[in-house]
Chains A and B, each alone.
Chain A
Amino acid sequence: MHGSGIPIWFFIGVLLVTYGLMILGYGVYEWHTGSYPPLVELTNLHTPVWWGGLLTALGVLYVVKFRPGRVR
């Protein structure tokens, strides 16, 4: 966003990191214990792990790139 203040991308980055870590954490727990939800398909792909990781990585990128006070 043009002008002063915290850019929207920073907020988005924070949210993505939060969600990513939560989903990644659950995915690792699910893979480790083998307790997959009964009616969900393709659990063998371990979707929460790689999708949570992707969200976390994207979120970290936005948080670092658009952190407040960074000179652009």
Chain B
Amino acid sequence: MSFLKAPASPALLAFSAAPLAHLRSLDIAVIAIYFAMVIWIGFYLKGRSNTGEEFFMAGREMTAWIAGLSFVSANLGSLELMGWAGSAYQYGILATHWYWVGAIPAMLFLGLVMMPFYYVCKTHSVPGYLNLRYGEHARVLAAISFATEMILMSGVNMFAMAVVMKVVLGWSMTFSIVVSACAVTLYVALGGLRSAIFNEVLQFVLIWGGALLVPILGLIQAGGVDGLKRQIIANMHSDSYFHLWRDTAHFADNPMGVHWTGIVFGLGFAISFGYWCTDFLVVQRVLAAHNLRAARMAPIIGSFFKMAVPFIVILPGLLGLVLLQNPDGSRMQLIPQDTWKACVPMSSDCAPLLKQTSLSPAVQKDVLNQKEGPQSDLHSYNEVLPLMMVRYLGPGLLGLGITALIAGFMSGMAGNVSAFSTVWTYDLYKPLINKKGTDNHYVMVGRLSIVFGVLVSIGAGYLVQRSHGIMDYVQALFSIFIAPLLATILLGMFWKRHPNRRLSGPALRHHLFGEPLRMGPPLSRQAGLCGAFARRQADGRKCLSRAVGLSFHSHRHFCGQYVYQAQAGGGVGRSRLWRDPAAQGRAGPVLQKRVAVGDAGGVHLCGAQHFVLVASFFFLR
């Protein structure tokens, strides 16, 4: 299908990004059977999703294995499959850190340490836990953040799937969005979380069934791991693509440009713990377990499968470096996503971006002159997995592989809308709008919110088209929603002196003022606001981040956290004073002492968070 609005000469059509794969009847049948199955599961489970507990929490009946597989599968979307395969093509085996450092420790921590807190309190959601620990205001604020994030992420998944289907199969984006949205709405609105979990486990099996063949056949053709290594070194003139830690002592020594401290502290702690331990999409799957032991075992079981995922994600990316070929037999070289967007169809940005790629000058000239040639067909890094599928999978198997990609996208969407529905119903609608509704009423609200959520996701999906790359968008969402929440939850769980329910007011004020700080005013104005706020609450203590000179992103996050801690410390002192009328006469020195102690603790904690945020900045830049 041509990307151009007005097809002209055949030469131009050659650069209209023809579909990578041509599906046959058998492939179409495989895809159609999958859609029929997921919708049938939704209708089958409708009869078992009539109460709130059944609809929103799957009756809390999941075994450890089901909850664990669903836990991993809810995250293992096609966005990740294709994105990280592309990153492996671009950066080599370093991309494996996303799994082995960026997921496994956090998953184990969730299961061993945090699940007792979440599960024993029988909360329906992470905001529900915040309500128990901090009060209503914290719950509402977190619920609004979560709900917004879930809808936007659902839109990301929807848009990403539509783009993939357009590139790989030539399907219209509108067709892909409508079909996937209808299927997801049906089976989640009918069967609730149970249906979403069923389909996530199904998707997990399909992904392995459809994608596992690629590394197996690729390794056979490459001559095993040794043959792969030998050919990568010959093609890339570097063995950095095969070392996980050796070249991370300096940014310039490895293809990804990272430092080991950023990997360990930024990815390994801030980003991964912030996602796996607090993101309600994945935590909800574990909360559906049938007892505490199953809830603790589920992330541990999931971590074993997560450790194996690089085999179907990273290895195809590495194999693409040596096995993908142009029609004339020369090695196919993929290009960055931004370059591909600028050149297909041709725009004025194509020439400068093309010069930064490793394509030969002759090929670049052909591309810019829109001359058809065996090496002039451009593909981005993200297409490495579909290209490998097309290379090895014939009719039937290709349909299975495409179904695995579609299933990955749809389960991501379903997970997000089911989480949105739970948060909306229990953390926003029930406490703020209708406290006295019946259980049936809340189930109906949940079903309607799924329809609403999918519609808003469609709008969000078109909004994503304006951003510079889907992964940039995802990382921006993470930085806004996830990292501060991790700090809040960890402090609430493990620090008894952290502000209790009485301090929801100051905390809410922080967020009301803190959020604008994060949204991008000039650095000096932001620092000034931060300083003014800090001085008012912390007795003249300046905003620490100004003294350190951070990046814009880490500055604004650290600033917000520091102000929160300063307020919280002051709040501890005030709340204890108010309970003791006899202490009123000693208000001045006692208050200052308590505020100072609270502030010192807050500063130390903020310092730790600051270090983590700076490290994460280095990793993410």
Contacts and interface: CB of A to CB of B under 8 A. Distances in A.
To the question of whether A and B form a pair in one complex, the answer is yes
Interface of A: 1-3, 5-6, 8, 11-12, 14-16, 18-19, 22-23, 26-27, 30, 36-37, 39-43, 45, 47-48, 51-52, 55
B73 to A, nearest CB: 12
Given A3-B61, A19-B400, A47-B213, A12 B201 contact: yes
B244 interface: no
A22 B391 contact: no
Q: Which of B30, B62, B66, B396 has the most CB of A within 10 A?
A: B396
A11 B198 contact: yes
B220 A42 contact: yes
23 contacts: A2-B61, A2-B290, A3-B61, A8-B197, A8-B201, A11-B41, A11-B198, A14-B37, A15-B34, A15-B202, A15-B206, A16-B205, A16-B209, A19-B33, A22-B29, A26-B395, A37-B395, A40-B392, A40-B393, A41-B392, A42-B392, A51-B213, A52-B396
Contact of A26 (B26, B59, B217): B26
A1 B209 contact: no
B297 to A, nearest CB: 13
Nearest to A7: B66
Interface in B208-255: 209, 213, 217, 220-221
B172 interface: no
B48 interface: yes
Contact of B221 (A2, A12, A19, A41): A41
Interface string B463-481: 0000000000000000000
B397 interface: yes
Contacts of B48: 5
B63 interface: yes
B217 A42 contact: yes
Q: How large is the interface on B (under 10, 10 to 19, 20 to 34, 35 or more residues)?
A: 35 or more
Given A8-B198, A41-B392, A47-B392, A23 B66 contact: no
Interface of B: 26, 29-30, 33-34, 37, 41, 44, 48, 59, 61-63, 66, 197-198, 201-202, 205-206, 209, 213, 217, 220-221, 290, 390-397, 400
Given A11-B202, A12-B201, A39-B390, A51 B397 contact: yes
B540 to A, nearest CB: 58
Contacts of B394: 26, 30, 36-37, 40, 43, 47-48
Contacts of B209: 16, 19, 55
Nearest to B58: A1
A18 B290 CA distance: 31
Contacts of A42: 217, 220-221, 392
Nearest to A42: B217
Given A37-B394, A40-B392, A11 B217 contact: no
- Say whether chain A's binding surface is mostly helix, strand, loop, or mixed: helix
A41 B394 CA distance: 9
Nearest to B40: A11
A39 B20 CA distance: 11
Closest 3 A/B residue pairs (Cβ): A3-B61, A23-B396, A2-B61
Contacts of B390: 39
Contacts of B66: 1-2, 8
Q: Which of B33, B61, B391, B397 has the most CB of A within 10 A?
A: B397
B392 to A, nearest CB: 6
Given A3-B59, A11-B37, A48-B395, 17 more contacts: A8-B201, A8-B202, A12-B201, A12-B205, A14-B37, A15-B37, A15-B205, A16-B205, A22-B30, A22-B396, A23-B397, A27-B396, A36-B394, A41-B221, A42-B217, A48-B397, A51-B213
Given A8-B66, A15-B33, A15-B202, A1 B61 contact: yes
Contacts of A43: 394
A18 to B, nearest CB: 6
Nearest to A40: B394
B246 to A, nearest CB: 33
B579 to A, nearest CB: 46
Contacts of B206: 15
A19 B396 CA distance: 8
A3 B205 CA distance: 22
A39 B290 CA distance: 49
B478 to A, nearest CB: 30
B62 A2 contact: yes
Contacts of A39: 390-391
A38 B341 CA distance: 30
A5 B59 CA distance: 13
Contacts of A6: 44
Contacts of A2: 61-63, 66, 290
Nearest to A14: B37
B437 to A, nearest CB: 26
Contacts of A47: 213, 217, 392-394, 397
A8 B221 CA distance: 36
B202 A48 contact: no
A63 to B, nearest CB: 13
Contacts of A3: 59, 61, 290
A36 B395 CA distance: 10
Contacts of B397: 23, 47-48, 51
A50 to B, nearest CB: 10
Contacts of B41: 11
A47 to B, nearest CB: 7
B207 to A, nearest CB: 12
